[in-house]
Amino acid sequence: MNRTIRTRLATVVVAVAITAGLAACDPPAHYVSIGDSFTAGPLILDQRNDPVGCLRSTRNYPSLVAPRVAITKHLDPSCSGANTGDVFEPQGVTPGPNAPQIDRVDKWTTLVTIGIGGNDIGFSSIATTCGTESITDPLGSPCRDEITDAVIAQRLADAAPRVRAVIEAVKERAPKARIFVVGYPAILPESQSYLQWAACYPTLPIAKGDVAWLRDNVHKPLNAMIRTQALAAGVEYVDTYGPGIGHDACTGSGTRWVEPVIPGNLAAPIHPNARGMEGMADAVTAAMTAAGVPMR
């Protein structure tokens, strides 16, 4: 082997070694997805068992987003039933507690999604109450009459600083992370005639007058509160409600993103199905791309 060839070979070896060394020094890039059942994906197959009680799907929107972004690891502590308190404390689920979700955020975390706040205002219990009350007054607004606008306004006001506290805790633990706070997708139709309501009522038993109230006085204000807290904290907000319009629980089983009380797809009642998770993942990915998050 002549000197020129040896010199070139040595140069290549050194270059490869330097490149490998630099790659080895690159810090890990972790994505952490904090959230409740609208993040976890209860009953959507396949379900994870870490722990089983969180009803966390391998096809929830974070699991669909993760392969699209430039990260080395995805950590998903989301858990069905979680509220903002469960971000900081163990959540009692079977067969054992889900560790505080914030524990998964550390100095290696470069990307975080947060989908929390609905359980802080009792959104699921409100929907359950509305379903029960509709039996006695299907054409009225019995749920609104019982719960009242004042109660909802107070619950939103109480939840706002808790949502903000979650965001600030993530920022403190991972100061270099890009944070995206994710809203809740459309559950109820934007408009509905009497015949459309009557056709939907058997599977989504909510009184005619309560449909608009739940949509305009509970769901949209919830998203507005979450968006306000995200923007005030200087992080991104992802609108999944707008893209979900026309995919509400009253649309056909092949169109809807969210299942009614009597599901037609494998998912928990009044929760996103697999199609809904795909739609939410697309909205999150679009927001990340627009914000300059590196993609694969």
Q: How confident is the model at residue 30 (pLDDT cuts 50, 70, 90)?
A: very high
User: In which domain, by residue range, is 77 found?
Assistant: 28-290
Of the candidates 272, 239, 274, the one whose C-alpha atom is nearest the C-alpha of residue 258 is 272
pLDDT for residue 56 is more than 90: yes
Of the candidates 31, 92, 38, the one whose C-alpha atom is nearest the C-alpha of residue 60 is 38
Residue-level pLDDT at 185: 98
Residue 104 lies in a domain: yes
Residue 51 lies in a domain: yes
Active-site annotation holds for 271: yes
Residue-level pLDDT at 128: 86
Selected catalytic residue, list 33, 37, 80, 141: 37
Q: How confident is the model at residue 97 (pLDDT cuts 50, 70, 90)?
A: very high
Neighbours of 264 (CB within 10 A): 14
Q: 16 phi and psi, to 5 degrees?
A: -65, -40
Q: How far is CA 146 from CA 132, 156, 159, in A?
A: 12, 17, 21
Residue 10 lies in a domain: no
pLDDT for residue 18 is more than 90: no
Domains of the chain: total? 1
pLDDT tens digits along 180-216: 999 999 999 999 999 999 999 999 999 999 999 999 9
What rounded mean pLDDT belongs to the chain?
92
The beta-strand segments (E) located in 36-155 are: 73-75, 109-115
Residue 68 lies in a domain: yes
CATH number of the domain encompassing residue 217 = 3.40.50.1110
Higher pLDDT, 14 or 109: 109
Active-site annotation holds for 30: no
Residue 143 lies in a domain: yes
